[in-house]
Chains A and B, each alone.
Chain A
Amino acid sequence: DAKTTQPNSMESNEEEPVHLPCNHSTISGTDYIHWYRQLPSQGPEYVIHGLTSNVNNRMASLAIAEDRKSSTLILHRATLRDAAVYYCILRGYSGGGADGLTFGKGTHLIIQP
């Protein structure tokens, strides 16, 4: 079973910020929080990851709750190219095995022009 819970779908307008939530109440102290996205007919693409502190990169920001039981992926200014399925994944310390990178159902993000 996936260890994360995400809404099935979300809709946003182009050039507006998007906040994608993820619940992971059973997270362990050594689990990293990873986000990947998958555009149609492509393999998943890494977006961002973090452990305890909030993280920023050129693609997005990751806000992690203080108790680490939830997190939010923030796209600061959505474009049509950001329409994809977004997966929130817990990756164990070793990074390997079935617990190394297990996908749930993800959130289908729809961007309206």
Chain B
Amino acid sequence: GAGVSQSPRYKVAKRGQDVALRCDPISGHVSLFWYQQALGQGPEFLTYFQNEAQLDKSGLPSDRFFAERPEGSVSTLKIQRTQQEDSAVYLCASSHGGGGTEAFFGQGTRLTVV
């Protein structure tokens, strides 16, 4: 595809429900990031993958949050037993390599927990 694709674009979940958010990065991109963005705030780092290896998960807010990228391409962010404070836009970004390369972001998934 031409860019980073995220699905679904919108998700409404009942409190306590499990959700899975998908990210399709640009083909060949080694680095993949997940962010959480609350209304009116900047994106907050959640986790980082280099190929299939999850090298940094320091931003995951609790053990209810889990991310994987088993084949080094598509990634899934899973949130178990959703709570109202999980309501936010979840953004995925990918880049080809290190700090001298640009990152490309998806449109995000807006999660609303009711």
Interface residues of A (CB under 8 A from B): 30-32, 34, 36, 42-46, 49, 51, 85, 87, 91-98, 100-106
Q: Which residue of A lies closest to B59 (CB)?
A: A98
Q: Which of the 9-residue segments B71-79, B80-88, B104-112 touches chain A?
A: B104-112
Q: How many Å lie between the Cα of A73 and that of B106 in the bound state? A: 23
Tell me the nearest residue of chain B to A97, going by C-beta: B56
Inter-chain contact B44/A103, CB cutoff 8 Å: yes
Closest-CB distance, B14 to chain A (whole angstroms) = 24
**Main DSSP-derived SS at the A contact region:** loop
Compute how far the CA of A85 lies from the CA of B50 in the bound complex, rounded to whole angstroms: 28
> Given the complex of chains A and B, what is the CA–CA distance between A105 and B113 in angstroms?
25
B48 touches A100 (CB 8 A): yes
Given A95-B31, A96-B31, A100-B31: A44 and B43 within 8 A (CB)? yes
Q: Give Cα A42–Cα B105 distance, bound, in whole angstroms.
A: 9
Q: How far is the CA of A104 from the CA of B41 in the complex (A)?
A: 9
A51 to B99, CA, bound (A): 10
B55 within 8 A of A: yes
Q: Verify A96–B56 contact, CB threshold 8 A.
A: yes
Bound Cα distance A46, B59 (Å): 22
Q: Are B50 and A98 in contact (CB under 8 A)?
A: no
Complex CA–CA separation, A34 to B101 (angstroms): 9
